[in-house]
Structure 1
Amino acid sequence: MLTEEEKDLMRRSLDAVRQGMPGFTSRQPQLRMMATAAHALAAIGNPGAREEGGHLAVIEAGTGTGKTLGYLLPALALAHLRGKHLVVASSTVALQEQLLHKDVPALRQCLPFDVHCVVAKGRARYVCPVRLEMREQACADLPDDPDASVQDKAQSGRPIGVRLLGRLADAFAKGTWSGDRDSWPSAIPDADWRAVSTDRQGCIGGRCPQFKRCPFYLARQEMKDADLIVANHDLLLAAADMEPGSVLPDLAETMLVLDEAHGLPAKVVEHCASRHSLKGAQVWIERAAVLAEDAAVALRLDRSLSEAVAAASLVLDERMDALHAVIGEHCRFEGEATVWRCQHGILPDRWCEIGTGLAQAATAMIQALQAVREALVAAAGDRPAQLQTHLSGLGFCLGRLAHIEQTWAWMLREDAPQALPTARWVERHTGATHMQDYLVCAAPIGGGEKLRALLWERAGAAVLTSATLRACGRFEPFLEESGLSGYPALHRLDVPSPFDYARRAVLNIPRVKAHPRDAEAHTQEVLERLPAVLAYEPGALVLFASGWQMRQVYDGLPENFRSRVLMQGQVSRQELITCHKGRVDHGEPSVLFGLASLAEGVDLPGDYCTHVVVAKLPFAVPSSPMEQARREWVERQGKSAFMLLSVPEVGIRLAQAVGRLLRTHEDAGTVTVLDPRLGNTHWGRLLLRGLPPFRIVVGDRAPDRERRTEVEECVAAV
């Protein structure tokens, strides 16, 4: 419950923003969002509110509502008065950069209290001082080849890597570089970075003599004093799976805001999914025993430690052989198929028996390797450099063993009646030794249960927000997918966009003759229509549901039109957008061709995008074993997987796509959907309910020059 002091601080903060932020105008929808976020976050520490979900809010905030300020202002005010941390997590780097370099600094200048903001990153984004020193020394000891040409050196990469490591070490020693990979002025090749960074298993923490200057631990220390921590969804989920406070502040004492929350259910499924190879695993299992023996000899450890690893590796190796044999006998891959799926998630009895023993062997080997690691750290004392080679190798094996353990935790999990089952499948492939190998894979088919356990039952309070949380105008699909449907006191709010879609934007559904299921005919019709549809647009975005169709259309375009097209995959996404904007700025027409990643998180205001074309409704092809398992389960309940899963999913994707058109109050333009199903099917009309209130035109419109004039006249009238 909000106190009068808290309400007063929020009012004073809002008044300060009105006076100090140029161009800011508060609107009623944004004020409603602030109030909803404040009431949910104020429930932190209130057990009564938590039982019913009063500490949770789900807010859909349309483009232009001022969503970021709508949650930041009340959240920062509450965090300040209550002495709590605020963690804002997003799915995109672009939003994190916007928060750090634009939104937070602008807001901080206006607020009547100070805000200390930091970004949270994983250990692998920071340099390890010990490994940097080791690599620099090793490179310094390497003789240079005086006969090698400059071209040879550039092609080999080795001398360039040596010079880069030297610059990194020099800058870190002088204090001109913090050790954060992202703060280095140029890109650091992955291979070079891996040589100077480490992971949890390769780090000895407070025992390391470089601990006081370690960038990762310095960043963690700074985080303790921060009011606002900016993270991403991956890091948040990883932190929630660890001991409280090990990566992020204890979630029970933290206020969470999850921006771009529409992608969270899929993200947690990805986080939980696990797999391991069989023959491929046997290679490093054998290597692990050798590494343990080498470490024991090098640091004169008790030989029983390495002998325990060797014994555990033999047992695990035998279990891998047994599983490989039974999979080969049981699985009947049809033709060129590479995936065999357990129907209804039911694991064959023999697999259960072997898998139980395999999981036990993996656990035993983890314990044996951990014992070797602990003995190594104790024996090395203040000589961390001597440890690094051994710790890196053992850490790799421990990480792989953890995958085996997690995979079989899902494989052997007993699925409760009426609950979402686990997807279980096998993939066949040719391994590095050219032998047939198998990947054993498992994952939950929904992330709701895991999200509830990791976040909703543990976080002090949480606000989930995005421009697209409702599917076909309903929150229920998202609430079900994210594990929030069982909270009766959950705060829900739909904040519509303030843009005048009816007067400034048109949604056109032409009478396309080819059915999208006929890929060749539909692609040909898209190809024929596109030049006329976009003839007079300064900037346009064409979104495709498949890379095949995008490339077919691009290759078939007339040369005079293809010259204005920039296609995703030709250069990096950032270069693509920069080039597009540069063309438009110079008065040259430009058209972006892209896939799903250009339908989200891309900001193209004004003439950068006056027309969005959706070539085909973005249905996902249910080819993945997890998608097949989800649909199988729904159909088993006597329901329609198409209506319960496919339509809501495409509704979110379509809303994201059309949301690229209007980005400011001054924007105007057209969305054209070249998929006739949007206008002539019952479920297509359901999709329209979830879109902004465009003026809808079904059928072929006026010639492009006339249509362009029509839009300009509409804007002038406004």
Structure 2
Amino acid sequence: MNLKEIFGPEGLISKSLPAYEYRPQQFRMAEAVVKAIDNKKHLIVEAGTGVGKSFSYLVPAIGYAVANSERVIVSTKTINLQEQLLKRDIPFLKQVLPLSFKAALVKGRSNYLCLRRWERELKSKEEGLFDNVGEARDLQMIADWLQETTDGSLSDLEKLPSNRIWNKVCSEHDNCLGKGCSYRDNCFFQKARKKIYEAHLLIVNHHLFFSNLALKKVQADFLPLCKCVVLDEAHQIESVAGDYLGIEISNYRIKHFLDSLSTRERKKGLLIYLRAGDALKYVDRARSQAALFFKDILKSMRNIDSPIKRIRKPDFFSNCLDGPLREIYSSLKELKSRAKTKEDELEISAWMRRCLDLADGLNAFLGQTLKDHVYWIEREGKGFKRVVLKSSPVNISVELRENLFTQVPTIIMTSATLVTNNSFQYFKDRVGLENPLELKAGSPFNYEKQVRLFITKKMSEPQEVEKYREEAIEKIKHYLKLTEGRAFVLFTSYKLMNEVHQALQPFLKEQGINSFRQGAGIPRNIMLERFREDVNSVLFGTDSFWTGVDVQGEALSNVIITKLPFDVPDHPLNEARIENIRKKGGDPFLEYSLPEAIIKLKQGFGRLIRNKEDKGIIAILDSRLLTRSYGRLFLNSLPPCRVIVD
């Protein structure tokens, strides 16, 4: 395909999209993608908001896939971008491009209902193994939905059933009968798989992509081996990949596992269904040992302020769960040998694997057997009742290099925030990328005309907590008056956000400005929708509002950034990365803390201007931009705009 005939001022896109304007940045990016695919090279592209980067990678990817009868994976972090690709960009390109192609959304296998397991659960219900009204209601809801669904996946359900019920009826690799299943012709998973093998474009999310990578099978069930992969929102890949290359075991996961075998009252569960009374004592023993195990963990955290505790040495607790879990495994193995049907045999096998995964995971965590990992305990959720044992690789670069970059000929990585200090070096080092093609595509927006950046000089530094907070409150009042609300106020901690939000209530009421605060019980998407509708309102947010939020028009005319977004150095993962750099003789601040903060500041800055008509102000309430030598590095990484020292 000739790119000029598609992207040019008189091209196919321009003729079909009335508001379309030729953007040289978009064209340059498309050329770079073609070059990378043709030369079997990896490519990194930083493309600012407004470039239209999805067309820049979709058009070459489609051309390559159709011409070579190949598939291209496009992976994104957010649902919003997935929906944009599937509901807007791809349908448009199907109308415009002079070739026929197919695209498919890839979901994890457990998103699909298994008809065989579903029938099994109905049988359990008929035998009186469901005395819970909620579970019976969930089963009826699924039964009604089955009369009309063609997709058979969770996203097709208006209301989600409980995890307990869905885990009993979803499709799983371990207990699939394959060709021997009587439901195979109507299997939702197999229908979805068929669409995938017929498609040219496979749209996935980073979590599914990297969970398959962690299993070292990029060609797994839903991700056939591809010669070209696009990773959009690529600034997220280190954190997502790290999640899947480590350990995560919670008290809730162990409880769910044991309850699925047999509830405490011995009324429901796999062992009850199989009438395996002899094995119940092992479940009871594991349950009592789990209670003691997590009680000891909570006791060890009683005298620390943080909900997170790093575990520096192995065997900090004795593994009292290993014995009971091994006993459960042995009893399941015995049950399997006596299984009367192939279905029972597969179901038992699946629970044997889960049991072994738990036992091995606990041993790996407590013994700290994973090389170059950091280990910690975290309390989460309401009342901090969820206790999680976590580990993560300190550096994922080797894993990604060996299992991704050397396995797939072309990987296109793009985001609006990959460059620090005018270089991709930090990103390349973090993900293990060597000698890729590089492009800084820039942005079509005129930031000089659209943005005024206010930097406060006469303010206490954030380390002077009390003085800084009081001065920040007054500055926020000042900047909110300039735009009559219509603002995001972005924080790096919940504590400061809550204190400032509370202190500003009389002022906001006096000004007639409504406010929304993250963590106030309103779902993020609903909060954003209300913010858009209430044009003069103010939204107070922390981490998740710095990125992936798109509010166009006058509703967002002001972004107030309270502090330079340096990560908290005492989180175990940050702490371990800093130690690792120091051990090698490097400078942790320049090599890790500063680049991470620069990327996050760019993300916060990027919330304001979302199209060519947007305009407004950004205020950064941190004098270190002017008083510290590294301040210049932050400013140099932002788009050129009018700077006002206030």
**Same fold, TM-score > 0.5, yes or no:** yes
In structure 2, the CA distance between the partners of 1:369 and 1:479, relative to structure 1 (3 Å rule), is farther
Match of 1:579 among 525, 530, 545: 530
Task: Give distance in 2, aligned partners of 1:603 and 1:455.
Answer: 31
Q: Deviation of residue 451 (structure 1)?
A: 1.2
The answer to whether 1:401 aligns with 2:375 is no
In structure 2, the CA distance between the partners of 1:279 and 1:67, relative to structure 1 (3 Å rule), is closer
Task: Give distance in 2, aligned partners of 1:697 and 1:552.
Answer: 27
Kept in 2: contact 1:268–1:450 (CA 8 A): no
Task: Give distance in 2, aligned partners of 1:697 and 1:270.
Answer: 41
Match of 2:369 among 396, 409, 412: 412
Match of 2:36 in 1: 40
In structure 2, the CA distance between the partners of 1:618 and 1:338, relative to structure 1 (3 Å rule), is closer
Q: Which amino acid aligns with 1:565?
A: S
Match of 2:643 in 1: 696
Match of 1:446 among 388, 395, 415: 395
In structure 2, the CA distance between the partners of 1:342 and 1:577, relative to structure 1 (3 Å rule), is closer
Task: Give distance in 1, aligned partners of 2:410 and 2:537.
Answer: 45
Match of 1:380 in 2: 341
In structure 2, the CA distance between the partners of 1:503 and 1:120, relative to structure 1 (3 Å rule), is same
C-alpha deviations, 1:376-404, integer Å up to 9, x for none?
7x8514xx4x5687466445424423534
In structure 2, the CA distance between the partners of 1:109 and 1:279, relative to structure 1 (3 Å rule), is closer
Match of 1:66 in 2: 52
Instruction: With the length of structure 2 as denominator, give the TM-score of the two structures.
Output: 0.84
Q: Deviation of residue 269 (structure 1)?
A: 1.5
Q: Deviation of residue 453 (structure 1)?
A: 1.9
Higher Rg: 1
Task: Give distance in 2, aligned partners of 1:441 and 1:565.
Answer: 36
Match of 2:232 in 1: 259
Match of 1:615 among 562, 577, 583: 562
In structure 2, the CA distance between the partners of 1:114 and 1:163, relative to structure 1 (3 Å rule), is same
Task: Give distance in 2, aligned partners of 1:36 and 1:551.
Answer: 45
Match of 1:472 among 421, 425, 441: 421
Kept in 1: contact 2:242–2:396 (CA 8 A): yes
Bigger mean CA offset, 194-203 vs 541-550? 194-203
How many equivalent pairs are there? 630
Secondary structure of the 1:96 match is: helix
Secondary structure of the 1:499 match is: coil
C-alpha deviations, 1:623-646, integer Å up to 9, x for none?
222211111122233332122111
Counterpart mapping for 1:292-371 below 5 A: 341=310
Match of 1:483 in 2: 432
Match of 1:158 in 2: 133
Q: Which amino acid aligns with 2:612?
A: H
Task: Give distance in 1, aligned partners of 2:103 and 2:574.
Answer: 39
Q: Deviation of residue 604 (structure 1)?
A: 0.9
Secondary structure of the 1:169 match is: helix
Match of 1:52 in 2: none
Counterpart mapping for 1:37-436 below 5 A: 37-44=33-40, 55-136=41-122, 138-139=124-125, 158=133, 162-173=136-147, 175-240=148-213, 241-251=215-225, 253-276=226-249, 341=310, 379-381=340-342, 384=343, 390=348, 393-394=351-352, 396-404=354-362, 407=365, 411-413=368-370, 421-425=372-376
Kept in 1: contact 2:46–2:439 (CA 8 A): yes
Secondary structure of the 1:64 match is: coil
Kept in 2: contact 1:422–1:445 (CA 8 A): yes
Kept in 2: contact 1:288–1:397 (CA 8 A): no
Match of 1:508 in 2: 454
Kept in 1: contact 2:490–2:540 (CA 8 A): yes
In structure 2, the CA distance between the partners of 1:75 and 1:374, relative to structure 1 (3 Å rule), is farther
Please provide the CA RMSD for this pair: 4.4
Q: Which amino acid aligns with 1:648?
A: P
In structure 2, the CA distance between the partners of 1:133 and 1:284, relative to structure 1 (3 Å rule), is closer
Q: Deviation of residue 686 (structure 1)?
A: 0.6
Q: Which amino acid aligns with 1:628?
A: E
Match of 1:624 among 564, 571, 581: 571
Task: Give distance in 2, aligned partners of 1:400 and 1:261.
Answer: 31
Q: Which amino acid aligns with 2:599?
A: I
Match of 1:151 in 2: none
C-alpha deviations, 1:47-69, integer Å up to 9, x for none?
xxxxxxxx200000011111111
Q: Deviation of residue 573 (structure 1)?
A: 0.8
Match of 2:24 in 1: 28
Secondary structure of the 1:663 match is: coil
Q: Deviation of residue 74 (structure 1)?
A: 0.9
Runs of 5+ in structure 1 lacking a partner? 1-7, 45-54, 145-155, 415-420, 700-718
Q: Deviation of residue 228 (structure 1)?
A: 0.7
Instruction: With the length of structure 1 as denominator, give the TM-score of the two structures.
Output: 0.76
Q: Deviation of residue 296 (structure 1)?
A: 10
Task: Give distance in 1, aligned partners of 2:333 and 2:353.
Answer: 12
Runs of 5+ in structure 2 lacking a partner? none
Kept in 2: contact 1:299–1:380 (CA 8 A): no
Task: Give distance in 2, aligned partners of 1:112 and 1:187.
Answer: 41
Task: Give distance in 2, aligned partners of 1:277 and 1:545.
Answer: 27
The answer to whether 1:524 aligns with 2:467 is no
Secondary structure of the 1:607 match is: coil
In structure 2, the CA distance between the partners of 1:121 and 1:288, relative to structure 1 (3 Å rule), is same
